Amino acid sequence: MTEDEARRRLTAARVGRRASVDGNGRPHVVPICFAVVGDRVVSVVDHKPKQTLQLQRLENVRRHPDVQLVVDHYDDDWSALWWVRISGQGRVVDSGVARDEAIDLLARKYPQYRGHRPVGPALVIDITRISGWRAAHEHL
């Protein structure tokens, strides 16, 4: 898969799985909604029920900014399988213009954010590497 194709599939994907490293050095993976702009991926702590806005996923990034995000497509027809993985440096944006811009990007992609703007921090991933794979005989 070319990098252009990987970026196209990443941008179009509706959900991904973000991996970070917790304080004990263990992987911590969570599903996220996200948007892509240039060489950045943005997500936000949204209004879905949570016990607190002080989430482990944010603390992980503050301590260890190396993160990865995987998006994929599964089909019982294995010739249609594909995945894209980005590696990058994550940062938590608690307030300000960068956070507001991230929410605006997400609201363009997800109607749920238009009527009920998230109040939590944004997570920005600066992409350092992108790779992907697709089945050899996939029909695009």
CATH number where 64 lies? 2.30.110.10
Q: Is the pLDDT of residue 53 over 60?
A: no
CA–CA distance, 130 with 140 (Å, rounded to integer): 20
Q: Is the pLDDT of residue 130 over 60?
A: yes
Interval 21-37 mean pLDDT? 94
Q: Is the pLDDT of residue 50 over 50?
A: no
Measured between alpha carbons, how far apart are the two ends of the chain, in Å? 12
Residue 124 lies in a domain: yes
The answer to whether 30 and 15 are in contact (CB under 8 A) is no
Residue 113 lies in a domain: yes
Q: Is the pLDDT of residue 126 over 50?
A: yes
Count of structural domains within the chain: 1
Residue 139 lies in a domain: no
**The predicted structure's pLDDT at residue 136:** 77
Written as six digits, the tokens of 63 are 């301590």
Per the structure, the complete domain to which residue 94 belongs is given by: 3-133
Residue 74 lies in a domain: yes
Residue 38 lies in a domain: yes
CA–CA distance, 112 with 28 (Å, rounded to integer): 26
Q: Is the pLDDT of residue 41 over 50?
A: yes
**The predicted structure's pLDDT at residue 115:** 85
pLDDT band at 137 (very low <50, low <70, confident <90, very high): low
To which H or E segment does residue 114 belong? Answer: helix 112-115
Residue 106 lies in a domain: yes
pTM listed for this prediction: 0.87
Q: Is the pLDDT of residue 30 over 50?
A: yes
